[in-house]
Amino acid sequence: MKKLKRNLTLIFFDGLLLFILSGCATKSEQKEASHGITVVSSLDFYGETAKAILGNKGTVTSIIRSDSVDAEDYEPEISDAKLVSNADFIIANGLGYDDWMTRLEQANDKSVAQKITVGSMIMKRQNGQNPHVWYAPSLMPKLAKELTEKFSKQDPNNRSYYEKRLKKYLSELMPLQNQLKRIKQNRLQTSVAVSEPVFNDSLAAMGYRVSDTHFSEAIEEGSDPSPKDIRQLENQIKNHKIAFFIENTQNSSSEVKNIAKLAKQVGIPVVKVTETMPARKSYVEWMESQYKQVENSQEVKRGE
């Protein structure tokens, strides 16, 4: 999603943090007797993974748990600061995506929470690289294993419980791997275009190559693509040089809408994805539904 608004509100955000955390600085000192492990996640799909491993041995709270909230521009509330100050574990995406979570944690110098920054710790990426790491098929298994080890060290008496739940969770992820293999085997073309680099890690696992990096990066940064980039993408679509177009439906820019409209007009399938997990869907259900659209687009191509 666009980064422009986040940059414009950064100064206001820093001031807000000072106000929010002024009443929470000693919160960890006031923490009541533990009733299990406490986990706070910036994003709901990471919270879902934590809950899958933790089970009934603690509590997991996700700050962003609505598909109508833009995590990049989120402004924390007092309740968020209190949650973070009491956490045993904090899960953040990192890579500039949820900086507000890092600021909440760092501003509370009394916090003793262990922090898991998914982008850098699990995926080994640096700032400036694609932050949408939850679309990488390898991420959730790695995160689940990391959480299993950390929870087991914190609560060694329940190690076998966490390991049993890890095994169950990994089995629940397996259909996604099988779906990805089918998609990769059924490719007729390897080039695709995207509105933003949101779905790119899944595309790479499917064996596809993104052809419009300049256009998509401009949209991601909140700036206008150059006329040259727009023209090149339009030509790729008109000449059927791409297998399908990936549209992030949470971006309402006119450039993206026009490209999606053109693709439909000339018979290029449009695969609709979202940056946040839809309400009433699990992570697996969310991924499966988007992968299914890719499979459907392959059926369309085979029928041409």
Query: Quick one: pLDDT band at residue 177, thresholds 50, 70, 90?
Result: very high
Tell me: pLDDT of 168 over 90.
Answer: yes
Tens of pLDDT, residue by residue over 55-99, are 999 999 999 998 888 898 899 999 999 999 999 999 999 999 999
**What pLDDT, on the 0 to 100 scale, is given for residue 112?**
84
- Please state whether beta strands 58-64 and 37-43 pair in parallel, antiparallel, or not at all (unpaired): parallel
Tell me: pLDDT of 287 over 80.
Answer: yes
Percent of the chain with pLDDT over 70: 88
Q: How far is CA 102 from CA 113, 115, 190, 214, 288, in A?
A: 12, 9, 38, 29, 31
Tell me: pLDDT of 105 over 80.
Answer: yes
Instruction: Please count the other Cβ atoms lying within 10 Å of the Cβ belonging to residue 288.
Output: 14
Residue 153 makes CB contacts below 8 A (sequence gap 6+) with: none
For residues 31 and 179, the model is more confident at 179
The mean predicted confidence, pLDDT, of the chain is 90
Domains annotated for the chain, with CATH where assigned, are 37-172 (3.40.50.1980), 177-301 (3.40.50.1980)
**What pLDDT, on the 0 to 100 scale, is given for residue 15?**
52
Tell me: pLDDT of 20 over 60.
Answer: no
Separation CA 188–CA 168 (nearest Å):
35
Write out the two tokens for 232: 């090149």
**What pLDDT, on the 0 to 100 scale, is given for residue 3?**
52
Separation CA 105–CA 110 (nearest Å):
9
Tell me: pLDDT of 196 over 90.
Answer: yes
Burial 88-108 (b: 16+ CB within 10 A, else e): bbbbbbbbebbbbbbbbbebb
**What pLDDT, on the 0 to 100 scale, is given for residue 52?**
99
DSSP per position, 154-201: HSGGGHHHHHHHHHHHHHHHHHHHHHHHHHHHT-S--EEEESSTTSHH
Tens of pLDDT, residue by residue over 207-223, are 999 999 999 999 999 99
